[in-house]
């Protein structure tokens, strides 16, 4: 299964080579042109049959992880996060170091040796280390040199009737959707952009958007899902099983209202499950794409993911299907009538 293969690849921000190579190999048969820009973004171009406009799809290849910052005399590894990670989840987690995937475990001082004060507080990342089985600083420096990247070790697992547990659902779900969209044929020019370094500042998208200079852009993401015990319903960001999640506004972007309304109404017309993301926190590649050049109309469509930025993110296969279906539906409608793209971009009437 595509999602299984994508999520079990490692691609910590700035080190997306493995993911990029996988996608590039599978995109070759559908692409008119493939290029990798100097930052590492993979741009897959499909020439339209009668192109008047350019549509950009964006999904980031990178995932959160860690980087080696030091070594203990006892053979342990000191590390820092790459991207936003809740340090409370880290103790006891399995990781792999570098391309050789050297196995390790995140540890700290044993609980039976902690003071009462230490036991009553969350262990901070600065007190943690990674144990790779080395016996000395000299040994561990060879296994895990400074600057080496570290990824969560986690296997794709199906749960219950429709759920999936995996690492890197943010944003391999988006990558999977874009790969599906490449199989179609369209009247407009399509640029499927698999971006880098989203988790450390939306860096790849800024470069990709400038190069493509699209008329409209759609970002496909994995987003927060907070429908869990201890959270009031009015505090939910999204709900698992509620369908594709449309963003209105977040910390980095304000989606184009006309494009968002068009997507929502199109989903309703085609009986595709859809919901609005109800929080304004976080951000994604839309923040940089929206501000590119003289500005680009942008919308974000996301798969809700519980426990995001962890090795045990959980999503619904039905929600993934809803995101795939609505993105395909939008592209098909654009392809039938490119005037829709014109009207969204320049302010004309847009009807479903």
Domains of the chain are: 2-63+167-346 (3.40.630.10), 65-152 (2.40.30.40)
Give me the pLDDT at residue 227, please.
85
Mean pLDDT, range 231-240, rounded to an integer:
89
Mean pLDDT, range 91-98, rounded to an integer:
95
Report the predicted TM-score, pTM, of the whole model to 2 decimal places.
Answer: 0.94
Q: Is 148 a catalytic site residue?
A: no
Q: What pLDDT digit, counting tens, does each position of 36-90 carry?
A: 999 999 999 999 999 999 999 999 999 999 999 999 999 999 999 999 999 999 9
Give me the pLDDT at residue 348, please.
74
Q: φ and ψ at 113, to 5 degrees?
A: -105, 0
Q: What pLDDT digit, counting tens, does each position of 1-15 carry?
A: 899 999 999 999 999
Whether residue 126 has pLDDT greater than 80: yes
C-beta of residue 55 within 8 angstroms of C-beta of residue 189: yes
| Nearest in space to 39 (alpha carbons), one of 54, 17, 19, 59 | 17
Confidence of residue 120 (pLDDT cuts 50, 70, 90): low
**In 61-196, which ranges are E strands?**
65-71, 77-82, 94-97, 102-107, 129-131, 149-152, 157-159, 163-166, 189-195
Share of the chain above pLDDT 70, in %: 97
C-beta of residue 112 within 8 angstroms of C-beta of residue 103: no
Which of 97-106, 116-125, 191-200, 284-293 is the least confident region?
116-125
Confidence of residue 352 (pLDDT cuts 50, 70, 90): confident
Mean pLDDT, range 180-192, rounded to an integer:
97
Q: What is the CA radius of gyration of the chain?
A: 21
Give me the pLDDT at residue 113, please.
56
Give me the pLDDT at residue 347, please.
83
Mean pLDDT, range 315-322, rounded to an integer:
97
Task: Out of 16, 63, 148, 198, pick the active-site residue.
Answer: 198
């Amino acid at each position: 299964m595509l999602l299984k293969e994508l999520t079990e690849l490692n691609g910590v921000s700035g080190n997306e080579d493995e993911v990029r190579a996988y996608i590039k190999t599978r995109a070759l048969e559908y692409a008119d042109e493939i290029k990798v820009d100097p930052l590492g973004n993979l741009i897959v171009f499909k020439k339209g049959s009668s192109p008047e406009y350019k549509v950009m799809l964006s999904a980031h290849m990178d995932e959160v992880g860690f980087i080696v910052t030091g070594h203990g005399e006892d053979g342990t590894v000191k590390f820092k996060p790459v991207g936003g990670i809740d340090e409370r989840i880290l103790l006891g987690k399995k990781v792999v170091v570098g391309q050789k995937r050297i196995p390790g475990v995140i540890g700290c001082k044993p609980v039976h040796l902690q003071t009462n004060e230490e036991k009553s507080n969350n262990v901070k990342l600065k007190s943690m280390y990674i144990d790779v089985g080395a016996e000395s600083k000299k040994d561990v420096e060879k296994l895990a040199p400074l600057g080496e990247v570290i990824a969560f070790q986690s296997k794709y697992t199906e749960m219950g009737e429709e759920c999936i547990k995996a690492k890197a659902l943010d944003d391999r779900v988006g990558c999977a959707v874009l790969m599906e969209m490449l199989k179609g044929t369209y009247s407009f020019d399509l640029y499927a952009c698999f971006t880098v370094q989203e988790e450390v500042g939306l860096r790849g998208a800024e470069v990709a958007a400038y190069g493509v200079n699209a008329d409209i852009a759609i970002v496909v993401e994995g987003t927060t899902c907070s429908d869990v015990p201890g959270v009031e319903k009015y505090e939910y960001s999204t709900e698992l099983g509620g369908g594709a999640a449309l963003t209105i506004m977040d910390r980095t972007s304000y989606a184009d209202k006309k494009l968002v309304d068009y997507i929502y109404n199109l989903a309703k017309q085609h009986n595709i499950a859809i919901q609005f993301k109800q929080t304004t926190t976080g951000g994604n590649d839309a923040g940089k794409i929206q501000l590119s050049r003289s500005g680009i109309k942008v919308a974000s469509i996301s798969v809700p993911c519980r426990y995001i930025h962890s090795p045990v993110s959980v999503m619904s296969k039905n929600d993934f299907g809803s995101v795939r279906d609505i993105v395909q539906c939008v592209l098909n409608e654009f392809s039938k009538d490119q005037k829709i793209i014109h009207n969204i971009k320049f302010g004309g009437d847009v009807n479903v």
